[in-house]
Structures are given as structure tokens and as C-alpha cells.
Chains A and B, each alone.
Chain A
Amino acid sequence: MVEFAQTEDVVQEATRKDYEFGFVTEIESEFAPPGLNEEVIRFISGKKNEPKWMLDWRLECFSEWKQMEDPNWAFVQFPPINYQDYYYYAAPKKDEDAPKSLDEVDPKLLETYEKLGIPLHERAALAGVAVDAVFDSVSVATTFREKLHDVGVIFCSISEAIQEHPDLVQKYLGSVVPRSDNFFASLNSAVFSDGTFVYIPKGVRCPMELSTYFRINAAKTGQFERTLIIADEGSYVSYLEGCTAPMRDENQLHAAVVELIAHDDAEIKYSTVQNWYPGDENGKGGIYNFVTKRGACRGKNSKISWTQVETGSAITWKYPSCILEGDNSVGEFYSVALTNNYQQADTGTKMIHIGRNTSSTIISKGISAGHAQNTYRGLVKVLGSAEGARNYTQCDSLLIGERCGAHTVPYIETSNQTARVEHEATTSKISDDQLFYVMQRGLSAEDAVGLIVNGYCKEVLKELPMEFAVEAQKLLSVSLEGSVG
């Protein structure tokens, strides 16, 4: 076989490219006092003019959080976080009141989203995609609201939902991720500042893709958004989220909570392209992405499908999960996690089978390059009640370069005789033969690696909505910058 040391150099050289979303928007911001205490929580709640029940809930979460310890079981390493170093609230300073329409949104913000490729002007918007844009701690714009309103779909920031739809929020908030679920979820429950709320009424098929674009801009700021999506009986929604942040030397904290609820015959498709700033090639800076995402298939025949492409963040700690309570409910998890340089990812899913004939599919593709550590961690649990449950799991890890690590840690717990659970995993390096073959046909090393990695991830990428799939493909090639073939 051909000696490939040369190829490695070529790849290293060819794939250098900067993080394209690393710019900072110069905009005047308003902050909460730094650090975390009851006063800050009252400040956040007060800023949003929240009802008392919401403030009380936050305070209870805060007192629970204070009793908890950082989780230490994931294969990620970072210096202890001083939670008093962060700002827990940062918002673009404008009028005291939130913008009432897109026309009132600060032009600089609109420009920022234009640069990110997410135009907020409805006329210029991606066809059929409604966007909620969250800038640091607050939602700055939500598009296509009227059109959605016509069919009864509620799509707004969670702050608005607390004001406008308190009954729905009170009923569902914390019902999938209990507020003491884990350290980061509790933290989020205490300090979340904004996020997205979606309600799809009975029998409605949401006429367009809903999307939130998250942007962390302010320095030393944590982002703690909260997303709550409820699909009532027989409804359908496809929801997308994208994330970027400026390049900063210090690590920034992002601890989101996402809760999905699918009732009888409802389906929620949740897609993420996560491209937070990953830090530089020496591992300096980058976002700590500690996220709790969980969906409850409450109703019979309901379905929740998670698709994620994770290329950003210094550390990713994230396990989008499905609780399959309803009979015949379906959970899916499709994931690509790419880590390069000194990135660390510990990600996977939990599929909890409770109802009869529930089924789940897990397809995970991990790609590790440079000095990165990439771990798949997943739980498939079949309870005694889950007659006829089915799970199929396929986890593949690809290693590019000899300094990286790829780890697979599945937990498979089966307490039902009629269940069928199958798990397969492979770990290998990118094939020299494939690289040679592709390059012999004229592709550069960079393109060859990109092509092979994209092919490797195809099973997952095809689950993404079209616009996202294209973006994700580009992202995969770009994120391999400096990797070794």
C-alpha cells in the first residue's frame, strides 16, 4: 500500500480554515449583576415581569441546585467551573420593552443574523421556515407568527408564553425534565432567561419548519435557554435549532433544557446543527455545552425523532432522550458528533421503553480527529411493562490521526422476555484504501477526507431537513480543519 504520511501533511495543510462565525456584534448590552444568587434570579424574573409562581419555581430550583454536585462520570475533562464568574443575564439594550415587530429589531442584530445566513426579514427568509432568534439571553425576533397563528400554532419565546399561556407552561414545564434531574438542568431551571415555546393543537400539521437560532455574543455570559414543545393529539411539527458564538479566549457556559411532549398519534422531529465556537487549535476557549434534552412520548403511536450534528463546542455533554410511555410509540436518535483539535464530546441518548410495542432506533456516528476525545454513551432500558419492545442501535466511530480517542459506552438493560434489543458498534480509522482510491480519481486530500466523512455520516444527514443537510455537510468538512488523514 502507498505510504500515507504525505497525505496526512497535505490534509493538515489543506483543511486549515477559521471558524467562520467567530465575529462579535458591537451592540450595547444590559447585564444582570455577575454571579449567581437569589438576587440575580429575582432580577431575571423581574426583568421579565414574571408571575409569582414562576419566580417561586426558580427559587426552589436554585436551592435544590445548591445541594448538587457537578456530574463527573462523563469522559470529559475541564477545570472546575466557578459559577460565580458568569453573567446570567445579558440582553441587547434597546427600549425597555421587547420589539413588537421585526421593524423594531435593532438593525445590527438583523445584520448579525444575515451574516449567519439566517435572514429574519420574512420576505427574505428561507421558504417555509419560521425563525425564533435568541441572542444571548433573550429572544429578539420570531418570524411568521401570524401565519402560524391562523392554524392555531403557538410559536413564541418562552418569556411570552409565561405571560400569554401560563396554563400550558405550568402544566408542562419540568414535566419531562424534573427540575432536580441533574446539576445542569437544575441550574437552567433556576436561571433560564429565554427560549422557545411551541404548541401544536390537535390534528394540526404545522405548515412550516420551526426554527430557533441561538447566538451567544456577550463575553463572560452563560446562555441558559429553555425550550418547550408540545404536540397535541395527531399533530406534527418539525423543529430545527442552530447555534453559533464568537471566538473568545475564555470558556463560555451553555446549559439548555429542552422538553418535548408528544400526545396520542403526534410526531415531533427535532433537528440540531450545533456549531458553537469549539476553541482554537490549542484548545483555548470554546463553549461548554451542557445540555439536557428529553422527549416524552406520552400518547399511543406517538413519535419523537432527534437528529443532531454536533461539530462545535469545546465540550459537549448531551443525551437527547426519549421516554416511550405510550403503546406503540417510537423514539429515534440520529447523531453525528465530530470532534477535532482538543474538543471533547460525551454524547448519546437514552431510550426508556415503558409502553407496549415501543420501538427505538439509534444511529450514532462519531468522528474524532486531532487530540479530541469522542464518547458515545447511551442507555437502552426496557422495563417489564414494555411487551414487544424493539431497539436497534448502531454506533460507529471513526478515528483520524493517532492522538485522538473514540469511546463507546452503551448500557443495555432489559427486563422483558419479549423484547428484542440489538446493539452493534465498530471503531476504526479512515481507510487508507478509500483515501487512495478517491485521490487517485483526482480529489485533493481535503476533499477526499470530506467526501469519505460525509459518506460515513450519510445515514444521519439524510434525516435532516434539506437546508440543514447542506449546511451540515459543509460544516463537517470545515470542522475537520487541521486533522490528519
Chain B
Amino acid sequence: MRERNLGQGLEKFSPALRNYVSEALSFDAGPEALSGLRSHAREALLETLPLGRSERWKYTDLRRYFAKPTRLADAPGVVSQQDLERFLIKGYARAVFIDGFLSTELSDLEGVEWSALDEKIVGRVADIKSTGFVALNSVLLKDGFSLRVTKSQPQQRPIQLICLTSDKLVGEIHTRITIEIEENIEASICETHGAIGSGVGLCDYVIEIVLGKNARLQHVVHQQASQDIHHVVTRAGRIDEGAKFTGFSLLEGGALSRSETVLSLTGAGSEVKLYGIGLMRSRQHCDVTTDIMHEVSHCNSEQVFKNVVDGQGRTVFQGRVYVAPDVQGIEAHQLNRNLLLSKNARADSKPELIIHADDVKCSHGATVGDLDEEALFYLRSRGVSENIARGILIRGFAAEMFEVLNDKTIVTYLDEALENWLLCADYDGGLA
């Protein structure tokens, strides 16, 4: 009876899409503690899942994915400590997820406060009704965990969240992680999304982040998914009074990837800085969507995203800055720069300012182009061959972003990834 109601409106979709939705609606094998969340989420599923055309999913079309038969991954593949080695950052505590399941054996969570998901925590900031994957994730999630950094247990080591797919993966992963940083506490977290072998399917992570008053979080993401994976990560956060969130992403994509970040600034003096580099090649598609909501007076944001697109790669940047009515003293800036390295590369950019108050200073900029001719000539006139010169400039274009990070360990970690990408792309980045 219930399912029939939920399925209302399904008729307009193709049988394959209908099939996907009804299977998702009939799923009820998630954690017992989240049954209430699931039933709420079912009601929102059809409205929110990007099955038709929508402005928010204008440049990323998942209909073909949903139209194919799929299944949920029911158990993680086997990953050895040795396989894990290359993903580790030295000195970090870690939570390791294999095919969406937390592996306590591979994790090292000593001194870290964490717990299983429950309904008091899940869904606090990720809005089930927003267009995208939150409702789907809520309905289908099988595992996840909650992380807290508190006054009673402050961070001793930075924490690395390692989310890997194994070569056993064929199907879908839906996982939820919540992060809470208590009042006046500082934390550093790095998410690593990687692949061991070539899994196939969909990875859907929803990450909820709450920053208490005057909390600080450095949130770094390195993503390098399998080339057969659709990789969708939705980050939803609430930044309280005086709190500061600094995000830095290095995205190397999967087959198709979407990184959606929705952050609400809910207290005066709060601040969001989001920086990112996207490196795309072959037929990869990478969509970075951000939504920074200035809900109160005196909160600021800054965003800089750079993309390097080679082969037949395609990048999408949709950045939205929203300033609510009646708020004052807002500064919000946004910049998106795209470097197209090949004839068939494509970049779409939609930086958006939605401003409902007058005491603001907002700006955005977007550029698309090839490498700077003048700089190429300068390098070549100093004897550097054209290919190396191109490599140096591409590297410079991306590495310039590292200047915002003070954390040497992280810069080294990201720089290595950048260097590897350039080498694989046949751009000798020059001597480091």
C-alpha cells in the first residue's frame, strides 16, 4: 500500500528507471537504528533523485546509470594491510572503509572518539529533501560511523578517512559519515577516496559536518576512484559562530564523479574557505557543485577551484553563493579557472551569486583557456623544451593552490599525487 503511494509520479519515467526506484523503495536491510530515517527518506526519494532534467544536475546526467540493472554491495572485498600501505599518511589515525563498510581491523582509531550511526546524529545537516543523493543514501545506506572531536577527547593525531573500493566491488555503496567538532576545538581530517583494482559501480558517500562555536576544521580530500566507478560524495555542513572551515580537494575523478558541498554559515564570525584542484583526462567527467549559504550577518566565504582537463575529459563547476535577506556585512568570493589541454576537453562553469541583502561584497570570476603563451615563451627562451615547459606551467597552475595550506605533511602528500598525474599524462612536470 505504502510503496504504491511513494511511487506516485513514477509513470513518466522509463521502465528501467522505474525499476531502479521501486527496488530502492523496497530496500529495508539497513541498520535497525536508522529505520525512522529510512521511512522519511523514502517519501523524498522520487522528488530528489536526479532522474529528470534539473538545474542542479544540468551538466551531469546519471539517468543512463540508473537505467542499468544494479545491486547493492553486500560485503566488503578483502584488502590486506599491505594493499593499504600506499594510501596512508604517516602519523594519522585512520578509519578504513572497504566497499563502504568500516573495517575495524584495518583502522587505527586509538584515541579517537567514534560510534555507530544513530538517528540523533544522522540527518542533522544533510537535507533529505535537497535534490541529489541524500535521500537515496538515507534509504540505502548500510554502514558508516560517527566521529567526534571533543573537549574531553581532543585530537592527538589528525584523522584520515580512507574509503576504498576493492576489485571485488560490482554494485553500489551507500555510506554515511558524520563529523562533529565541538566548541573551541581544532581538528584536521583527510578523506582519501581510492581504489584497489578496478571495482565497478556507484560509490555514494554522504558526509555530515558540524562545527561548534569557534571550532576549526581543516578538511582535505584526495579522490582517485576506479575508472569504472561513478563516485558521488555529498558533504553537508553547518558552521557555527566564529567557526572556521577550510576545505581542500584534489580530485582525480572516476568514470564520473560529483562532489557536492553544501555549507551553511549559521553564526557571526564564521568562515568557509574551499579550495580545489580537479585533474581530468580520458573520458572522465567531474562535477564540483558548491552551495555556500550565508544565513546570518558577518560571515565570509572564499572559494577557488581550478581544473586541468586533458583528453576527452570534462569538468563542471557549479558554485552558488547565497546571501539571505536581512543579513549584513558579508564578504564572499569565488573563482573558477579551467585549463584545457586537449582539443576535445570541455569545461562548463556556472558560478552563481544569489544576493538578497545590500551590505555585501561579493564577486566571482571564471576563466577558460589554454596555457599562457607569454609564460611558455619565457620558459622556452630559457632553454626549456616545449613539452617540459607545458608540464611546468600545468604544475604551477595547480600547485599554486597549495600555498593556502600550512600543513607540510598534507602538501607533500597532495604534491606527490599531482606529480604522478602529470607523469601519467605525459607531462613531465619538471624537477620538483
User: Residues on A close to B: CB < 8 A?
Assistant: 73, 382, 384, 397, 399-429
Contacts and interface: CB of A to CB of B under 8 A. Distances in A.
Given A402-B358, A421-B368, A408 B344 contact: no
A411 B359 CA distance: 26
Interface stretch (B19-27, B205-213, B287-295, B347-355): B347-355
A407 B362 CA distance: 11
A427 B368 contact: no
Contacts of A416: 340, 343
A414 B354 contact: no
A421 B366 CA distance: 8
Contacts of B359: 402, 429
A413 B336 CA distance: 13
A71 B343 CA distance: 35
Could you tell me the dominant secondary structure of chain B's interface residues?
A: strand
A410 B360 contact: no
B50 to A, nearest CB: 16
26 contacts: A73-B55, A384-B343, A397-B355, A402-B325, A405-B325, A405-B354, A405-B355, A409-B350, A409-B352, A410-B366, A412-B350, A414-B346, A414-B347, A416-B340, A417-B343, A419-B368, A420-B368, A420-B369, A421-B366, A421-B369, A422-B365, A423-B366, A424-B364, A428-B361, A428-B362, A429-B360
B358 A414 contact: no
A400 B361 CA distance: 13
B363 interface: yes
B55 A414 contact: no
A417 B308 CA distance: 11
B352 A408 contact: yes
A425 B353 contact: yes
B351 A423 contact: yes
A399 B355 contact: yes
Contacts of A424: 363-365
**Which residue among B348, B361, B368 has the maximum number of chain A CB atoms within 10 Å of its CB?**
B368
Interface of B: 55, 325-326, 328, 338, 340-370
Contacts of B353: 397, 406-408, 425, 427
Contacts of A420: 367-370
B235 to A, nearest CB: 23
B350 A410 contact: yes
A384 B345 CA distance: 9
Contact of B325 (A403, A411, A418, A428): A403
Contacts of B361: 426-428
Nearest to B367: A422
B356 A412 contact: no
Contacts of B338: 414
Given A417-B341, A421-B366, A428-B360, A406 B348 contact: no
A389 to B, nearest CB: 10
B347 A425 contact: no
B366 to A, nearest CB: 4
Contacts of A410: 349-352, 366
B340 A414 contact: yes
A73 B343 CA distance: 32
Contacts of A419: 340, 368-369
